[in-house]
Structure 1
Amino acid sequence: MRTLQKLSRLPVALTMPALAILLIVFGIPIFLLFLTSLNAPAFSLVNYRVFLQQPANVRVLLQTIQISVVATAVCLMIGYPIAYLIAATAKRLRMVLLVLVVIPYLTSLLVRTYAWIVILGDRGLINNILLDLGLISSPLSLIYSRMAVYIGMVHIMLPVMILPLVSIMMGIDKSLIAAARSMGAPPFAAFWRVFLPLSLPGVRSGTLLVFVLCLGFYITPAALGGLRDAMLSTFIAAQVASSFNMVQTATSAFVLLGIAAVVLLLLGLDLSSIQARATRPLPKSWSSTPRSFGTLARYLNELASSYRSKRWTAKLYQAEGGSSCWTIVGTLFVVVVMFYLLFPSVVVVTMSFSDGAFLEFPPSTLSLKWYRSFFGDPSWTGAAWTSVQIGVAVAILSTIVGTLAAHGLSRVVPRLRSSLTMVILAPITLPSIVVGIAAYFGLLNLGLIGTKVGIILTHSIGAIGYVVVIVSAVLANFDRRLEQAAKSMRAGPLQTFWRVTLPLIRPGIIGSALFAFIHSFDEVVKTSLVSGFSIRTLPLKMWENMRHQIDPTIAAIASLLILLPVLWLIAIYVTGWRTKAKSQSGPPDAFV
């Protein structure tokens, strides 16, 4: 009994509820799936050999890797400059630009995919404009192509690349760049030798996240691509829908998971810090350079030193020129990228007020016809109410469990914290289709397929990870001395948490709860696997309608869903402002 009491007082015990849900719904099933793919207890690789011996499987696998690599590379080429420009702007403008990036990031994936269907379709926005201008005589084949898949995937993944880069770049000491410039380094050299190496952690994080998430893409390639653009996740989903062969499905899932694991091992482990790299000795190949080459290099360096000294003196007090041109180019680039991120949502919202039988942009007449169609159809409102119920339950469960886990992780040793955090974040860092297959297998054994409880548990394993990330970020800036002061006044651990810690981290908890709700409300891949065709959420019904017909009612629903991230940001701002106002009004009187 005393042993249990001691264990309950350990910070790591607070992570047990989150780990228990993760283990039951995802951990044990994924391990059993792995054993199934190895033909346990015989343990052989015959299933993987059969998979690789089929040309169609290999083609889909290579195609998945190719599409993911290209989409990641495009996101990096666009995301790095835009993140650099956002980090270099003034604080107020930076906040505005970040909000404009976050809004598309939080907007439903289905909504953004639907927007590109409307824009790129045969009777979509682009083809209609070109036909009206007389530039083409028949619609261009823009949709159901590889280019359409890239456009949709980059649009969805670009904020995922930008946000980690901005976070890292804002933490870089700008005086280092100024010091390099003061030593005579031109702007590009200062960027290449100083700023770029310091921003590489953000590049690694963004590239890793985008590539792994692209591997598990299912909705966007299926909606925008053709039969030749199928990805492995689409192949796995088709296997589950047609004939659920557990061995084949497990093998395909672990092939996809293996690619993600290799990338995580190569890019996800940071074994050395920047300082360690700076003090690391030169490689052997450099130290073993022929002595004649080193002598020649020193001689050339001495000849150039006088030139560099004169150039530095001449440039030291010289006003910078040509910056206005680069300012204009940077401004235009930011405008183009923001237009690319926001314009699809604007198109959908505008078209939702059309009065015609088909969507048109801009609408010839304005009407609330499609909004009335949504609210007047019990199938749509019933699906929406089901999504709200599931989302609220997921938000409550994941917020409580995730906050406890984050509170416990903030008090354990760094090594244990890192390991537990990686385990908790596994459902949101691994391909979504693999997580969905594992959850299906776990809920099947529990008899929860086709139930709301099963869907709530499946959504929660991902939502808990988001709550842990957000609350941990808030706790990282929390002053522990406030808790020590409360305990010195004979407050117990529970009273200290309830009266001191909780009020100060409340904005992060509210934000994580809203994020968990949005995550659940937008989920369609895992829901399609565990719903058992008996429960229809709003995203599932939208996806079914998008696959069979382009119902204009979806435009009205999409417009309503676009409001969710806006309301989320307003709620975060209001709660943060109120907490800040309370903290500035005076010290709390919790223990007076």
Structure 2
Amino acid sequence: MQIVRKLGSTPFGLALPAFTILVVIFGMPVVRLFLISLNAPAFSLMNYEAFLGQPANIRVLLQTIEISAAVTAICVIIGYPTAYLMVAASKPIRITLIVLVVLPYLTSGLARTYAWIAILGDHGLINNLLLELGIISNPLNLIYNRTAVYIGMVHVILPTVILPMVSVMLGIDKSLMAAARSMGARPLAAFWRVFLPLSLPGVRSGSLLAFVFCLGFYVIPAALGGLRDAMLSTFIASQVASSFNMARIGAAAFILLAITVALLSIFGLDLSRTQISSTSPRKPWLTGFRSVSAATRLFNELSAPFRSKRWITQIHRARGDSRRWKMLGTAFVVIVMSYLLFPSLLVIIMSFSAGTSLGFPTGGLSLQWYRSFFSDPSWTGALWISVEIGATVAILSTIAGTLAAYGLNRTFPQQRGFLTTLLLAPNILPGIVVAVAIYLGLLQLGLIGSLTGIVLAHSVVAIGIVVVIVSGTLANFDIGLEQAANSMRAGPLQTFIRVTLPLISPGIIGGAIFAFLSSFDDIVITSLISGFSIRTLPLKMWENIRNQIDPTMAAVSSLLMLVPILWLFVLYVMWWRSNAKGQAPLPEPTA
């Protein structure tokens, strides 16, 4: 008992519950899956050769990389100017735009997928509108093709790219741009030479996250794409459901994992550093680059008098095009926000349809599909199972994640970074690889098809989310308050409960909410772990999307789209109460 108490008082001891869940449910199964793929103990590459020896597998692998790269490029092209315009806006508008970007990010992925089916389907919004106008006589083939996959994946991934860019751009000192302008640089040159290099870390982080997430996409390619648009995640999931050959499945999973690890190793470094050590060996391409740089500097010095004279004449010129650029920027942001929010709004409107099938315009208002949802035991039963699992996951992951974040916050920075990366591995790696590894681990424990197995599987991912959010809260926590409590003979547990916990409670509640949303919306892991005995709401929705389009889906999707608004309101109230307590005046000393 004394040993357990001492271990619990150490930083690593506090993180031990989280690491235990991670190692048992995910870490050890990953190692075992890798050994199985190598036919241990014989150790051969037969399974990898068999995978790479089939042209169809190579085509699926290259297609996965192609789709992921294309979606990432589109998101960066759209996301960078959107993030720049959001940062350049006034604070109230910026906060509003960030909330509008976060809302679809928190909305159920299945609900958004269903929204695009309602827009692009043969009887969807676009085809119905064109048929009504007489422009076409037969529905256009807008779904089950590569374009539909791109539209759906970009819609889901775009907030993941915009938010890191906004975070980095907000930290850039605006006086640097003003200084460049004061030295004669035109707006485009100041942006290209000053702002863009400083914002590249956000571009790198957003694009890397987007590409890795795209590699593991499963739902959207299967729901919106055709047979020719299959990705490797779909191939692995079908192998698990049909052949159950873990050696072949492990080989495919680790080929996908190898691509991810290679990308994280290459592009996960700090590319924002531009200084080169003088002791580093000279390379031919670097020497050539320095020669070009020297020539460029010489040209700039020779042209400086002309440029200064030109700048003096332009600085007093009226900028009549500033209003035009402002209007173009506003229109661009409105288009992007409409792209992110319109599918959700359309499904909400369609859910009140009075017709026998979904369509737009609705032809009347009715609550029939909501009554159908709440009166159908299959839908309500799936809902309560998802709520039960999500609440349990939120409690377990919040306790383990908060203790881990608190312990890691008191370790050395090098150790903290390494241990945090380990905890975030299930969040960083492709979802289908994580799902297969967890499936193998729970299979050994005999927990496939049980609520306990699903809770543990979801907690592996949710713990990392809680660690990130609580760690961000602890970064602004004044450790001197704990030292003051200890100096007044308060024990570690009493200090944590009476001092630390109330101050970091907004972060803990935020972590619990995001853990619940992560569990409630999961489909990839649940589809492998649940077996045939448990049907969560996402599984029920997924079966409906694949087999039949029940109009009740519109009501279900609408309810799921309102959940993020509720959670954001709860977070705002918690943040407002925390600020109110922090700004409360101190009591007057009594005489």
Q: TM-score of the superposition, structure 2-length normalised?
A: 0.96
Which residue number corresponds to residue 562 of structure 1? 561
- Matches of residues 195-344 of structure 1 in structure 2 within 5 Å? 195-270=195-270, 274=273, 276=275, 284-285=283-284, 300-316=299-315, 320-344=319-343
Is the 8 Å Cα contact of residues 198 and 274 (structure 1) preserved in structure 2?
Answer: no
1:38 matched to 2:3? The reply is: no
Amino acid at match of 1:387: S
The residue identity in structure 2 corresponding to 1:184 is: G
Structure-1 separation of matches of 2:81 and 2:298? 38
- Do the aligned partners of residues 137 and 188 (structure 1) sit closer, same or farther apart at CA in structure 2, a change above 3 Å counting? same
In structure 2, what is the equivalent of residue 360 of structure 1? Answer: 359
CA distance in 2, matches of 1:223, 1:193: 43
Q: Distance in 2 between matches of 1:463 and 1:192?
A: 39
**SS state at 1:585 partner:** coil
Which amino acid is 1:122 matched to?
D
**Alignment deviations for residues 94-150 of structure 1 (CA, whole Å, 9 cap, x no partner):** 110000000000000000000000100011100000000011110000000000000
- The Cα shift of 1:314 comes to 3.6
Residues 1:277 and 1:512: Cα distance change in structure 2 (over 3 Å): farther
Q: Secondary structure at the match of 2:72?
A: helix
Mapped partners of 1:193, 1:317: distance in 2: 23
Bigger shift: 472-481 or 71-80? Answer: 472-481
Distance across 1 between alignment mates of 2:338 and 2:198: 29
Partner Cα distance (1:285, 1:176) in 2? 33
- Kept in 1, the 8 Å contact 2:200–2:272? The answer is no
Query: What are the superposed Cα offsets for residues 507-549 of structure 1, whole Å, 9 maximum, x if unpaired?
Result: 1111111111111110011000000111000000010011000
Alignment deviations for residues 143-192 of structure 1 (CA, whole Å, 9 cap, x no partner): 00000000000000000000111001001111111111111111111111
Question: What is the correspondence of 1:92-107 to structure 2 with a 5 Å cutoff?
Answer: 92-107=92-107
> What is the aligned partner in structure 1 of residue 139 from structure 2?
139
Between 305-314 and 139-148, the greater mean CA deviation after superposition: 305-314
Answering whether residue 61 of structure 2 is matched by residue 61 of structure 1, we say: yes
Task: Rate the CA distance shift 1:10–1:436 in 2: closer, same or farther, 3 A.
Answer: same
Instruction: Report the alpha carbon displacement of residue 226 of structure 1 after superposing the two structures with TM.
Output: 0.4
Aligned equivalents of 1:526, 1:286: Cα separation in 2: 47
Shift of 1:587: 5.3
1:86 and 1:94 in contact (8 A); partners too: yes
Residue of structure 1 equivalent to 2:349: 350
Structure 1 residue 380: deviation in Å? Answer: 0.6
Residue 313 of structure 1: how far off its partner (Å)? 3.5
Deviation at 1:333, TM superposition (A): 0.3
Whether 1:109 and 2:113 are equivalent positions in the alignment is no
Are residues 25 and 311 of structure 1, via their aligned partners in 2, closer, same or farther at CA, if it must alter by over 3 Å?
A: same
Q: Which amino acid aligns with 1:445?
A: Q
Partner SS state of residue 41, structure 2: coil
Q: 2:232 and 2:289 mapped to 1: Cα distance?
A: 51
Matches within 5 A, 1:390-469: 390-469=389-468
- 1:219-249 C-alpha deviation (Å, 9 max, x unpaired): 0000000000000110011111112111111
- 1:339–1:277: structure 2 CA closer, same or farther, 3 Å change rule? farther
**1:271-327: CA deviation from partner (whole Å, max 9, x where unpaired):** x65374699989654885699999976764443121123234344555544211110
Tell me the residue number matched to 1:154: 154
Identical counterparts, % of pairs: 64
Structure-1 residue corresponding to 2:552: 553
- Stretch moving more, 128-137 or 485-494: 485-494
Give the AA of the match of 1:393. Answer: T
Deviation at 1:8, TM superposition (A): 3.3
DSSP 3-state at the match of 2:353: coil
Question: Is the 8 Å Cα contact of residues 63 and 231 (structure 2) preserved in structure 1?
Answer: yes
2:11 matched to 1:11?
A: yes
Q: CA 1:295/1:462 → structure 2, altered by over 3 Å: closer, same or farther?
A: closer
* CA distance in 2 between partners of 1:431 and 1:311 (Å): 53
User: What is the rounded CA distance, in whole Å, between the counterparts of 1:80 and 1:105 in structure 2?
Assistant: 17
In structure 2, C-alpha distance between the alignment counterparts of 1:133 and 1:258, rounded to whole Å: 51
Offset at residue 489 of structure 1 (A): 1.5
Against the structure 1 CA distance between its residues 5 and 401, is the aligned structure 2 distance closer, same or farther, given a 3 Å change threshold?
A: closer
1:389 equivalenced with 2:388 (yes/no): yes
User: In structure 1, the residue corresponding to 2:583 is in which secondary structure?
Assistant: helix
Q: Distance in 2 between matches of 1:99 and 1:31?
A: 40
State the AA in 1 paired with 2:582: S
Match of 1:488 in 2: 487
SS at match of 1:355: coil
Is there any run of 5+ residues in structure 2 with no aligned partner, and where? none
Deviation at 1:16, TM superposition (A): 0.9
CA pair 223-588 structure 1, distance change in 2 beyond 3 A: farther
| Residue number in structure 2 paired with 1:52 | 52
**Counterparts of 2:553 and 2:364, CA distance in 1:** 18
Shift, 1:82, TM fit: 0.3
Whether the 8 Å CA contact 2:198–2:272 is kept in 1: the answer is no
Change (3 A) 1:289 1:133: closer
Aligned to 2:512: 513
Pick which of 480-489 and 580-589 moved more.
Answer: 580-589
Give the distance between the partners of 1:298 and 1:567, measured in 2 at CA.
56
- Cα contact 2:197–2:272 (8 A) shared by 1: no
Query: Secondary structure of the equivalent of 1:274?
Result: coil
After TM superposition, the structure 1 stretch with the greater mean CA deviation from structure 2, 542-551 or 287-296, is 287-296
Q: Which moved more, 1:234-243 or 1:446-455?
A: 234-243
d(CA) in 2 for partners of 1:93, 1:58: 47
Q: 1:419 to 1:398 in 2, by over 3 A?
A: same
Structure 1 residues 344, 288: closer, same or farther in 2, change over 3 A? closer
Separation of aligned partners in 1, 2:293 and 2:245: 65
Q: Tell me how far 1:417 sits from its aligned partner.
A: 0.6
Q: CA deviation at 1:586?
A: 3.9
In 2: Cα distance, 1:58 partner to 1:380 partner: 40
Matched, 1:189 2:186: no
Q: Contact 1:183/1:312 (CA < 8 Å) preserved in 2?
A: no
Counterpart residue identity of residue 209, structure 1:
L
Task: Compute the TM-score of the two structures, normalised by the length of structure 1.
Answer: 0.95
- The 1:295–1:442 alpha-carbon spacing in structure 2 relative to 1, beyond 3 Å, is closer
Which secondary structure state, in structure 1, belongs to the residue aligned with residue 559 of structure 2?
helix
How many Å separate the matches in 2 of 1:299 and 1:194?
A: 20
Q: Structure 2 matches for 1:473-484, cutoff 5 A?
A: 473-484=472-483
Determine the C-alpha separation between the residues in 2 that align with 1:297 and 1:338: 41
Unpaired segments ≥5 residues, structure 1: none
- Does structure 1 residue 170 correspond to structure 2 residue 170? yes
CA distance in structure 1 between the aligned counterparts of 2:5 and 2:410, rounded to whole angstroms: 18
Once residues 374 and 280 of structure 1 are traced to their aligned partners in structure 2, the CA distance between those partners, rounded to angstroms, is 69
CA distance in 2: counterparts of 1:192 and 1:69, whole angstroms: 24
Go from structure 1 to structure 2 and tell me whether the alpha carbon gap of 1:307 and 1:488 turns closer, same or farther (over 3 Å shift): same
Contact map agreement 1:63 1:229 (CA 8 A) in 2: yes
Give, in angstroms, the shift of residue 375 of structure 1: 0.4
Distance 2:532 2:297 in 1: 74
Question: 1:75-86 residue pairs with structure 2 within 5 A?
Answer: 75-86=75-86
Figure out how many residues of one structure are paired with residues of the other and give that number: 588
